Amino acid sequence: MKRSFIKIILIPVYLFLSAALLLSCEKEDKWLDIKAVKSDVVPETLADFQALLDNTSIMNDASSAGLAGADNFYFTDADYNASDEESRNLYIWSKNIWSSEASVHWNNSFKVIEYSNIVLDGIKKIEDSGTEYRNVKGEALFHRAFATYNLAQLFCKTYTSSALSDLGLPLKKSSDVNIIDDRASLQDTYQQIIVDAKDAAALLPESQPYTQRPVNAAAYGLLAKTYLIMGDYTNAALYAGKAITLRGQLLDYNNTALVNTSTTYRFPANTKNMPEMLFYCQSNSYRHLTAATSSRALIVPELYNSYDNNDLRKTLFYSASAPTAKYRGGYTGKGQNFSGIATNEIYLIRAECFARLDNTNAALADLNLLLRNRYKTNTYINKATTNAEEALTIILAERRKELPFTSNVRWEDLRRLNKEAKFQRTLTRVVNATTFTLPPNDNRYVLPIPSLEIQLTSIQQNER
């Protein structure tokens, strides 16, 4: 059933063209000499549609709401009390989360989908099949898939055998803002991600002039992430391999020209010369959970103490030491958390999948390659075991250490690993002398849909 509802107002369409949009992330790069247009403009040309996709404030921003509920950090009572209402609610896994009827964590991702659909519908009127056309279409498909993936990790259950009956997302595949669909099944939601990402991979180029534009390896990386959540380890390994074949470079953390503790945020600003970057995206929410110097989040000693002293991540990722260590090293090279796709995550996906598929040697080969680029020169000793289960445990521990504040990765991992008894964790926080817990597979691992959305569309709310 479909209902009429103006979901996102896009008129006038502000084509803040590329010069203004990419400047914040690529200040040192030369860009197209196109003036900004602020009028009732209907995009018609491929240049218009590319400009819409280049709106980095929308297309390259993703929610990190899941991170606030994960177990890599903690607040002191004083810092908890000083935090905003939403952060406090997420931190203690409250039944009610949002501080108002609407939420940017829902709306902004659907805005990405809406922009993508405007492009996909608009280019149907253009008789072209050249490189520029393919790139624009591929970018739009990627953005729609990536936004849908991110929404599913926050507002849907994790993928299980009940996906056909579990609630997914309203799958918006048209730019007609007067129509909104009911929630599809979770299975259909993931199939939509897969279809869009595969189509994007076939259209996107191997390289782009700016990391805010996705490449085909990013689409393969998104497929690997999606299949990993689904528990389809064969396909996750396959697509991780495709991404690595195209863009398998790793950053050597010994390279002080690119990475060092003398800079506040450790890593290259504006992703300049960043070899691992497949798609740049950042999170502008909850600055006290980021690498920003104003961050209140303290790293849990369990995580901080798990790093070897020769592991450069211990000093590059964090300032000070436990119990007062704070996160400082993110792939944005600035205060915001990285929420895009990079090669390090793809190697870890393939390593995990190889271990789960009983290919221990291949799993450890990927892991050891990554870690050799993380330790001080000539100090790393290869991980070695012939037991696939042991290898899997090692890889999952390293995944947590490698991606502690990347997007919602830790939240996603807690959700999916709770399906396996041996990896289940009960999360506990003590705030102002009150203990809060989040048991495995609890309904609170799925965030509530903002109440305004429920009121206006009558879609079904998540159980909390």
Domain membership of residue 212 (yes or no) is yes
27 within 8 A of 210, measured Cβ to Cβ = no
Mean pLDDT (the chain, rounded): 91
Q: How many CA atoms lie within 13 A of 64 on its CB side?
A: 27
Rounded-to-integer distance, Cα 336 and Cα 313, Å:
18
Residues facing residue 61 across a β-bridge: 282
Q: What's phi and psi for 74, nearest 5 deg?
A: -150, 160
Show the domain range for 405.
2-457
Number of domains present in the structure of the chain: 1
Three-point CA angle 117, 144, 232, nearest 5°: 145
| Residue 208, domain CATH | 1.25.40.390
pLDDT in tens, 376-429: 999 999 999 999 999 999 999 999 999 999 999 999 999 999 999 999 999 999
41: DSSP letter: P
Q: How confident is the model at residue 136 (pLDDT cuts 50, 70, 90)?
A: very high
Question: Is residue 109 included in any domain, yes or no?
Answer: yes
Rounded-to-5 percentages of helix, strand, coil across the chain: 45, 10, 45
Instruction: Report pLDDT for 400.
Output: 99
3 has pLDDT over 50: no
* CA–CA distance, 180 with 36 (Å, rounded to integer): 31
CA distances from 459 to 4, 110, 168, 183, 450 (A): 13, 15, 11, 7, 11
pLDDT tens digits, one per residue of 430-464? 999 999 999 999 999 999 999 999 999 999 999 99
**Torsion angle (degrees, nearest 10) of CA 399, 222, 143, 86:** -30
Domain annotation covers residue 464: no
The verdict on residue 463 lying in a domain is no
Taking alpha carbons only, the member of 372, 370, 367 closest to residue 394 is 367
Please give the pLDDT value at position 118: 97
22: pLDDT strictly greater than 70: no
Note whether 463 and 448 are within 8 A (CB): no
Q: What whole-number distance in Å separates Cα of residue 299 and Cα of residue 318? A: 8
pLDDT at 9 > cutoff 90: no
Peptide bond into 214 cis (omega under 30): no
> 């590329």: which residue's tokens?
18
CA torsion angle for 78, 83, 88, 92 (degrees, to 10)?
A: -40
Max Cα–Cα distance, the chain, nearest Å = 66
Model confidence, pTM: 0.91
Residue 36 has pLDDT above 70, yes or no: no
Residue-wise pLDDT tens digits, 43-76: 999 999 999 999 999 999 999 999 999 999 999 9
CA distances from 15 to 21, 44, 56 (A): 10, 12, 12
| Residue 462 located in a structural domain | no
- Residue range 157-161: average pLDDT? 98
